[in-house]
Amino acid sequence: MTETPSIDRSRRIYRVDKFIVPPHAREEFIGKVRTTHELLRTLPGFLQDFVLEQSAGPGEFNFVTIAEWENPECIENARAAVLALHKKMNFNPQDVFARLGIKADLANYQRIDAQE
């Protein structure tokens, strides 16, 4: 990926969401993730994303999603856009996760090297 000179690397923020998804919930979960990430890719400040499924190892989380944003303001705007999309879809993640037995660990991160 080529650096864009106008983007301050030290302000970039990463949304990293980790999930434990039971096998029976996989397809429904992936469908919701794809819909959400399709929206994210259209928003201002979006840089890149990854939707990862565990392929080996003893890790607890079998899905990880990562979205990179220009700055904290962009991620806040994205949060509002996702909430609006979920409302339009009549989708409540907490209810769906409870129904399907999905556990999530959701957080924002910054690069250590960008802060030093």
Neighbour-count burial of 23, counting CB atoms closer than 10 A to its CB (0-12 exposed, 13-18 middle, 19+ buried): exposed
| 52 occurs within a structural domain | yes
| 83 occurs within a structural domain | yes
| 2 occurs within a structural domain | no
Number of domains in the chain: 1
Residue-by-residue pLDDT tens, the chain, 116 positions: 444 455 577 889 999 999 999 999 999 999 999 999 999 999 999 999 999 999 999 989 999 999 999 999 999 999 999 999 999 999 999 999 999 999 999 999 999 875 55
Domain span at residue 90? 32-61+68-111
| 1 occurs within a structural domain | no
